[in-house]
Structure formats: structure tokens, C-alpha cells
Amino acid sequence: MCEPLPKEKTMELRKKHIGPSCKVFFAKDPIKIVRAKGQYMYDERGERYLDCINNVAHVGHSHPEVTKAAVKQMELLNTNSRFLHDNLVQYAERLTATLPEKLSVCYFVNSGSEANDLALRLARQYTGHEDVITLDSAYHGHVTSLIDISPYKFQQLGKEAKKDFVHVAPSPDIYRGEYREDHPDPGAAYAKEVYDIIAEAHKNNRKIAAFIAESMQSCGGQIIPPPGYFKKVADYVHEAGGVFIADEVQVGFGRVGKHFWSFQLQGEDFSPDIVTMGKPIGNGHPMSCVVTTKVIAEAFGATGLEYFNTFGGNPVSCAIGMAVMDIIEKEDLRGNAVSVGNYLVELLNELKERHPMIGDIRGAGLFVGVDLVKDRQLRTPATAEAQHIIYKLKQKRILLSADGPHRNVLKFKPPMCFTKEDVKTVVDEIDEYLTVMEEVAGNKTKIITNGNKRKENTETCNVVSVKEEKSLSDNTQDNVQENVCRNGSRFSSKKHEAKRIRT
């Protein structure tokens, strides 16, 4: 494939014309992708990269059936959604058929951020309240209203950045949170935290419009809420006159395999009041949707303020959406998510038995996190070690990312066509790097010989130096030395927060 510009020229123009806060992966040696197919991406030299993170290309990069549907409709018509068109209503009917019966009204928009912003408008109009309860480390979008309710972002700006109408509940993390896997009912315990927040808000004469949560937290570190958590939270929020918003932007459309929507992992007795979706809905095409109940939709319309979206739900977008649904069914991608996801967890658990650096493995379907630690008992986050692995994998042309509050959780959320062979490839490489790192670290104690005297140095021996840690946090170094000892307490997750790139 002919490359229009050399990589150096592309980098030069990006530096000149693209906002400096728009970060790229591996900043000192970014990858220039010129084409992609299935679960693979190709750079300008034709080198193939295995994509383990691109949940946007839900049914696979450049899927021919998606392309065919888009071209066919584009050749015929694309227009404002304020004209009648069958694609809009047929797709809405098909989409709502996958959801609980009460979720029957759609608003089509163009991005996950736009969907979550509209969901807040719906909630506030319906309830007449303003306040929002969000989860710690949550991210819901880049527009102003969503930065306000995304601790993942606003906490980087200091304590004063949190608005008075925002209330932050603990992430329901049973590995690192206050209520862990040995608690008799962590779901109820974490839900009680939300109850207490509501009670405190009421004492201050504040009223709750909505509780919003990703059905499985991605940026928060691949967190799977414990059983019963959403149902109990919803009950508390409803009693306070609020609504429950389930953010499925990253984890919907069968990614968990067993269900079409991730919130369904919480059981049949739970249903959100509003569901937002994006990313996988159009397989890379800019499309998203808000689905809600008839009563909430009627309250939103009762203001007399007309809502329309020029591009949301246009004929081409809806044709693409239906093609994605067809492919999920025809290629049994939910079944693939179960079998391949289970295989991934199985191999990772085998690694965990051999590598003490693996503290926890959690996930569902093709949404899996590997929590790396420096000490299993203390669960000390292995931040620099996780970054080291990401960069080493990049050298082997495997694209993986790390996130979570400490940036120590390896994130798997690949295209749904990912195979068992792909899983084996990635896990074998991780196994190799963990082996080298742990061999260097030894038993985390280094014997230092000084003349005839020998003494123990109780500093933790790691594979990345302090200087290299900073380089990694700045995305500036791919190659790291593998024999440097330094005190583990020198790590600070704060060094990394400002450089996060959401994937």
C-alpha cells in the first residue's frame, strides 16, 4: 500500500497542527498504522501488529460486511435524520429487542461522550434534581459535563476540581477496595457506601438525579462489580428519586459473551433506567445511542424543547449498526468471547501459579484484566513493571495497554474475532518477560559483598530504574535495563496520572 507521507513528515505535521494534549501511544516511537483487518493492524512498512485493545473494531477491523453495508447505503442516500427513513426505526426496533422490555426509546447520537451527556440531561429533566453519584476512577467522556463526573480526569486537576453536585462512591473493587473477596457480601457493603452518600447529600439539602457507572469499569482497572451491587444501588437511588445510568460504551454488544449487555451479569432482577452505548456499535463508524424508558423520554419531551441530532441515526450509520448486529449473530462472536475469553483466563491462571508478580486476574468474556503486584500480601501495584511489559510487547508487535488507578493492570479488550492462537501468542510473551523480571529480582533481597563483610540489602530489587520509570511514564523509552535495584517506595502513581491515554 502506498504511503502518502513518510512517518517523519506525519509526526512533524501532527506536532505542528494537532493539539499537544492529544497524546499517541509510545510517543518517542509511535506506530503509524496504514491498514487493518480482523484483529491485526499494519504499519507503513507492512509489519503486522496483534491488536489486543481495540474494542472499537468490535467485529474486526475493516470487516467486509460492514464496509459493504456502508457503501451500499451511501450510494443510495444519506441525509438528516429528521426525514422518515426505514433504517432508523428498524435498527431501533432491533436494538431494543436485546434489552429489558422497559428500555424501549432510543436517541441516536455520534459518540460515547455525546450519549453520556444526553443521559445526564434526561436524568436531570426527569427527576428535577442535579446531583450525580459516580464511581472513583470512573471515566465517562471528554465533554465538560462528563469531565465533571469523571474522577479519572478531574482528580488530576486537584481537590478543588470536584464540583459540589458530584459525589464519588468507592469503586466496587473486591481486590484492592475496602471490602474484598473474603467479605461475606461485598456487593451489599459497597452499595451501603452509596446509601451513605445519599443520606449525607440529603442532610445538605442536595437531591440525587442519577447514579452512573460503567457496567464493568475499564479505566478503573477492569473492575467487575460483585453480585447484587447494581440492584441494591438502584433501589437506594430510586428511593432518593434518582435514576440509574449504565454506561455500556466500552463493554456492550456481547463482549462478555454470556449476555449481550454487561449489566446483565448482575442478574435478571436488575435493569437500569438509561443505557448508553458507543464504540462497538458502529465498528469504528462514529455512532452511539441512548436507550431509556417511555416515561423518562416523555418527561424529556414535556419541556417543549425540541431535540434533534443532525447526524445521529442517519441512514448510513443505521445500516452499519445493523451489519454489526448481523455479524455478531452470524459469526457467533458471543460464543467466541466465551471460549476464547475462558482460554485466556485459563492460561493467565497458569502463569499466576508460576509468577508471584500476578496478583489478580479478573474479567468476563473478552474483557480481562491482569493486576500486577510487587508483593502479593501487600498487593503493592507493580506500575513500572506493567509499563515495561507493554513496551516489550510493542517490540514484538503486540499491542496491549495498562490502566487502573496505579496503571498496573494489563487490559485485554480485543476485537471479538480474537482467537485462541492469538491468546497463546500474547500469554507466552508475557510469561517470558515475567520470568526475566523475576529472575533479576530474585527473592527481592540482594546480598551485597563488601570486603570480608556480607550484609543483606532489604531494598526491593526491580527491573526498572527510577530514571527509567519517569521515562516510561512520559512514554519516551521502549528499552529498559533489566538489572537495576531501587527502593520500591520511590514509586508514586501520581507520576503517571497526568500521562494517561484512555483506550
Per-residue model confidence as pLDDT tens digits over 451-478: 343 333 333 333 443 333 334 434 433 3
Q: Looking at residue 442, what is its pLDDT? A: 74
Exposed / middle / buried, residue 229 (Cβ in 10 Å: 0-12, 13-18, 19+): buried
Domain 7-59+333-497 is in which class?
Answer: alpha beta
Kindly give the confidence (pLDDT) of every residue in the chain, 503 residues in length, as a single tens digit, with 9 standing for 90 and above.
556 899 999 999 999 999 999 988 888 899 999 999 999 999 999 999 999 999 999 999 999 999 999 999 999 999 998 899 999 999 999 999 999 999 999 999 999 999 999 999 999 999 999 999 999 999 999 999 999 999 999 988 888 899 999 999 999 999 999 999 999 999 999 999 999 999 999 999 999 999 999 999 999 999 999 999 999 999 999 999 999 999 999 999 999 999 999 999 999 999 999 999 999 999 999 999 999 999 999 999 998 888 989 999 999 999 999 999 999 999 999 999 999 999 999 999 999 999 999 999 999 999 999 999 999 999 999 999 999 999 999 999 999 999 999 999 999 999 999 999 999 999 999 999 999 998 887 744 343 333 343 333 333 333 443 333 334 434 433 333 333 222 333 233 333 333 455 55
CB 34 within 8 A of CB 394: no
Q: What is the rounded distance in angstroms from the CA atom of residue 16 to the CA atom of residue 10?
A: 10
Residue 213 makes CB contacts below 8 A (sequence gap 6+) with 134, 135, 138, 225, 230, 233, 245, 246, 247
Task: Give residues with Cβ within 8 angstroms of 479, minimum separation 6.
Answer: 391, 395
Q: What are 38-59's pLDDT values in tens digits?
A: 999 999 999 999 999 999 999 9
Read off the DSSP letter of residue 226.
P
Q: Which three cell numbers stand for residue 247?
A: 454506561
Distance between start and end Cα atoms, the chain: 27
**CB distance 368 to 348 below 8 Å:** yes
- Minimal CA–CA distance to 112: which of 18, 251, 220? 251
Are 452 and 96 in contact, with CB atoms under 8 Å apart?
no
Which residues in 337-368 are b (16+ Cβ under 10 Å) and which e?
bbebbebbbebbeebbeebbbbbbbbbbbbbb
- Find all residues with CB under 8 Å of 197, minimum gap 6, and list them: 133, 167, 169
pLDDT attached to residue 12: 92
Domain boundaries for CATH 3.90.1150.10 within the chain: 7-59+333-497
Tell me the three state secondary structure of residue 437: helix
Amino acid in the structure at residue 55: N
**Residue spans in the chain of domains classed CATH 3.40.640.10:** 104-306
Q: Does domain 104-306 have CATH number 3.40.50.920?
A: no
Kindly report, residue by residue over 292-348, the tens digit of the pLDDT.
999 999 999 998 888 989 999 999 999 999 999 999 999 999 999 999 999 999 999
Note whether 237 and 194 are within 8 A (CB): yes
Q: What residues contact 64, with CB distance under 8 A and at least 6 apart?
A: none
User: What backbone phi and psi angles, to 5 degrees, belong to 145?
Assistant: -60, -30
pLDDT for position 28 = 83
Sign of CA dihedral 186, 412, 67, 115: positive
Residues 6+ apart with CB under 8 A from 199: none
DSSP, collapsed to helix, strand or coil, labels residue 312 as coil
Q: Extract the C-alpha cell encoding 45.
A: 512498512
DSSP calls for 147-193? HTT-HHHHGGG-GGGS-TTEEEEPP--TTTSSS-TTSS-HHHHHHHH
Show the cell assigned to 79: 441525509
Q: Give the other-Cβ count within 10 Å of 503's Cβ.
A: 18
CB neighbourhood size of 84 (10 A): 7
The predicted structure's pLDDT at residue 1: 52
Distance, CA of 73 to CA of 95 (rounded, Å):
19
Strands (E), 13-150: 33-37, 40-43, 48-51, 105-109, 131-135
